[in-house]
Amino acid sequence: MEGTGTLGHAGGAAGEAGFSAGGDAPDGAAGSSLPPRLDPAALSRLPGDVMVPRYDRSELRPGIVHLGLGSFARAFLGVFNETAIHAGGEPHYGIVGVSLRSPAVRDALEPQQGLYTVARRDADAEGRPRQRLQVIGNLIEQLVAPEEPRAVLEAIAAPATRIVSLTVTEKGYLHDPASGRLQDDHPDVVHDLREGTAPRSALGFIVHGLALRRSRGLPPVTLLCLDNLPHNGRTLQGLVLAFARRIDEALADWIEQHCTFPNSMVDRIVPATTEADRAQVAAALGCLDAWPVPAEPYMDWAVEDRFAAGRPDWHLAGARYVADAAPWEQLKLRAVNGSHSALAYIGVMAGWTTVDQAVAQPELRAFVRAMLLEEVRTTLPPLPHLDFERYVEGLLARFANPALAHRLQQIAMDGSQKLPQRLLAPIELRLAAGLPVPRLALAVAAWMHYLRGIDEWGRPYVIDDPLAEALAAAREAAQREPTLHDRVAALTHFTPVFGDLAGHATLVDALTKALASLQGVGVRTTLARWSRSD
């Protein structure tokens, strides 16, 4: 396993490091107690065990425009791209990163000329956290969409652009999570259909950028979704075409006939960066990186080999080009993401704060193992050479990584966007086959329990969800029903989440039983009962 040295726990209070990622960090001037800033001149002075770019960055040319310049994109796409370039890949796949909302990443990385550090973190044989650092160099430009929308459109329409990729989270696609349909009444959709020169949404930038390419007689590009959506490329294609047809049928036809939308499965755990992370990385580098990214060593990527204008040699970093990514997508969404969400909602209600803390609880670990082996496994398509039991044990070991301190509340956010593909899709398949769903139903019931906004210890928290207001209204209306069974049935009629499962009698019965137990005897006792083998 990768890693050198040890480090302290990744948690920590904001402000501990004494600087913010959102603004200019200290530059190490005379009299400053902080180290100098990471930049190209600092690379030669870094410790010898830090991996740095070994190519001439001046030779890089923009070939990828990436929408959503968050931590996952930098710890995943940036790392795969770095390996391809180091292996002698063509220099015209530098990344132009686009922040769709906040200038924070641009403000942090611009003084560093786009350099940033990925901290691969795990534990040694004695369980002590450790890290290995790599400075990534292929991010060559950062744009902030609200400040310079025309520049974003021009980047998509640039002759050198070959790939437009996205990590905008599930809610960034402005679609109904259960049906996949474009939300025509979403304010950003309404705005972007009307205003083509200054879009707000990822879909708006893509469609209007492609319209520029077509009007200039430029070749098509690949649209590459790296978010956790079912059939993510096909989903993106449907939304882009639906948006484009509302503007110009001929444009939609051109996109459909010439651009490609490969499906892909991406897998790497990337927690949010804390001030403690910045302090630890600065201490190891000897210079200040305003926005490093912690990540687990594990990375996995299966992507369909359908690229309209070429692609980097990402396979040199371990990516797999496949004919059909759907089996890998379903494995990731239902096993990794589904169990992650189960851990989050159950763990938050019990008062646990991080994934490793939650999975260390014997009852919860046993529950997740049983849910995967006895329920989720039956919903997965065949995968050649996959030992699922071994896969599950490896997944639980990943969750137990003490060096990540991955907060459960980070995973719990946006539940309305995540549950349909992570938990409700396997539930629907099992119900259609006449199979029981006790553990999957418990995970969904835990989300319902979570919506009350207070844990078992009486501590409140905010429901961070794009449908928070609608969910609160639906829950309030459901609470007026006379019995718990009726209240659960009413809440399943929140169709943006439950879709065709609304009011399903078997599901309502299973959810009612699980929720009654969570409310009556609490998380631990419920887990002990639900983790037993059938």
The string of DSSP letters for 99-146 reads: ESS-SHHHHHHGGGTT-EEEEEEEE-TTS-EEEEEEEE--EEEEEETT
Complete edge-to-edge strand list for the sheet that includes strand 300-304: 264-267, 300-304, 320-322
How many CB atoms within 10 Å of residue 63? Answer: 25
Closest CA to 514 of 448, 424, 445: 445
pLDDT computed for residue 127 by the predictor = 86
Among 179-183, 222-226, 335-339, name the one with the lowest average pLDDT.
179-183
What angle (nearest 5°) sits at the alpha carbon of residue 348, between those of residues 469 and 359?
140
Residues 38 and 110 sit within 8 Å (Cβ to Cβ): no
| pLDDT > 60? residue 30 | no
Angle between helices 505-530 and 484-491 in degrees, nearest 10: 110
pLDDT computed for residue 236 by the predictor = 98
pLDDT computed for residue 534 by the predictor = 55
CA distance 193 to 203: 10
pLDDT-based confidence at residue 14 (cuts at 50, 70, 90):
very low
pLDDT computed for residue 126 by the predictor = 86
Can you give the residue ranges of every domain in the chain? 47-311, 326-530
**Which residue is it, tokens 């002990």?**
528
Mean of the per-residue pLDDT values of the chain: 92
| pLDDT > 80? residue 234 | yes
Q: Which helix (H) or strand (E) holds 242?
A: helix 232-245
Q: What pTM, to 2 d.p., does this model score?
A: 0.90
| pLDDT > 60? residue 471 | yes
Q: What CATH architecture is 326-530?
A: Orthogonal Bundle (1.10)
CA distance 118 to 127: 21
Beta strands at 163-166 and 62-67: parallel, antiparallel or unpaired: parallel
Q: Which helix (H) or strand (E) holds 316?
A: none
pLDDT tens digits for 291-328?
A: 999 999 999 999 999 999 999 999 999 999 999 999 99
Q: Radius of gyration (Cα) for the chain, nearest Å?
A: 23
The backbone region for 169, taken as left when phi is positive above 0, alpha when psi lies in -120 to 50, beta otherwise, is left
**Residue predicted with more confidence, 531 or 241:** 241
Q: How far lies 394's CA from each of 29, 369, 391, 401, 417, in Å?
A: 47, 11, 5, 11, 26
pLDDT computed for residue 5 by the predictor = 33
**Which residue is it, tokens 């204008």?**
309
What angle (nearest 5°) sits at the alpha carbon of residue 257, between those of residues 252 and 261?
85
Please tell me the CATH code under which domain 47-311 is placed. 3.40.50.720
pLDDT computed for residue 9 by the predictor = 28
| pLDDT > 90? residue 21 | no
Judged by DSSP in three states, 424 sits in helix
CA distance 350 to 339: 16
pLDDT-based confidence at residue 177 (cuts at 50, 70, 90):
confident
Among 122-131, 163-172, 262-271, 389-398, name the one with the lowest average pLDDT.
122-131
pLDDT, mean of residues 66-75: 97
The backbone region for 404, taken as left when phi is positive above 0, alpha when psi lies in -120 to 50, beta otherwise, is alpha
pLDDT tens digits for 81-120?
A: 999 999 887 788 999 999 999 999 999 999 999 999 999 9
| pLDDT > 90? residue 241 | yes
With a pLDDT cut of 70, the percent of the chain lying above it is 93
Q: What burial letters (b/e) apply to 198-229, b meaning 16+ CB within 10 Å?
A: bbbbbbbbbbbbbbebbeeebebbbbbbbbbb
pLDDT computed for residue 26 by the predictor = 37
**Residue predicted with more confidence, 140 or 24:** 140
**Residue predicted with more confidence, 34 or 218:** 218
CA distance 413 to 464: 5
Residue 77 backbone phi and psi in degrees, to 5: -60, -45
pLDDT-based confidence at residue 33 (cuts at 50, 70, 90):
low
Work out the burial of residue 147: count CB atoms within 10 Å of its CB; fewer than 13 is exposed, 13-18 middle, 19 or more buried: exposed
- In a 13 Å sphere around the CA of 129, the CA atoms on its Cβ side amount to 20
| pLDDT > 50? residue 378 | yes
pLDDT, mean of residues 371-396: 95
